Amino acid sequence: MLLIECPWCGPRDEQEFGYGGEAHIVRPADPHALDDAAWGEYLFMRTNRKGAHRERWVHSEGCRRWFNVVRDTVSHEILAVYRVGEAPPAAGRRGE
């Protein structure tokens, strides 16, 4: 069980949260300009990183806010937490 630090509510049990997949996936500005391969890339392809992974979580049982987490996919250690719109901290850039 993970102890996740909500940027507003502080440390809470993993059960209170929902998982939202990889963070910082930007929707193409003009989807009609994309061919199928590029659209498929946006929809389905993820980095699947071993190590520090930037991902979205939502505090469903608490303040209902979405935020970002940097989690080590090997050890599950949470390296950093930051709000939507904030730049990822250095821990999340490792391995880029």
Partner 1 sequence: MAEQHGRQSALAGLGLDAQARISTRGAGEAGVRLGERPWRAQLALRGDPESEAFLTGVESVLGVAPPTAPLTVSSRRGVACLWLGPDEWLVTLPDRREPRAIARLEERLAGLHFAVNDVSHARTVLGLAGPRAREVLMKGCALDLHPRSFGPGRCAQSSLARCHVLLHQLDAEPAYDLYVHRSFAEYAWRWLCDAAAEHGLAIVAD
Residue numbers of the site for Zn ion (CB under 5 A)? 6, 8-9, 59, 62-63
When binding is defined by CB under 8 A, the residue of 20, 62, 88, 89 that contacts partner 1 is 62
Contact partner, 64, from partner 1, Zn ion, none, Cβ < 5-8 Å per class: partner 1
Q: Closest CB to Zn ion among 2 and 63?
A: 63
User: CA 31 → CA 36, 37, 77, 91, distances in Å?
Assistant: 10, 12, 36, 32
Q: Does 15 bind partner 1 (CB under 8 A)?
A: yes
Question: Are residues 8 and 59 in contact, defined by beta-carbon separation less than 8 angstroms?
Answer: yes
CB of 86 to Zn ion, least distance (A): 15
Question: Are residues 81 and 23 in contact, defined by beta-carbon separation less than 8 angstroms?
Answer: no
Q: How far apart are CA 64 and CA 52, in angstroms?
A: 25
Token code pair at residue 28 = 């193409």
Q: Does 65 bind partner 1 (CB under 8 A)?
A: yes
| Site for partner 1, rule CB under 8 A | 8-13, 15-16, 61-65
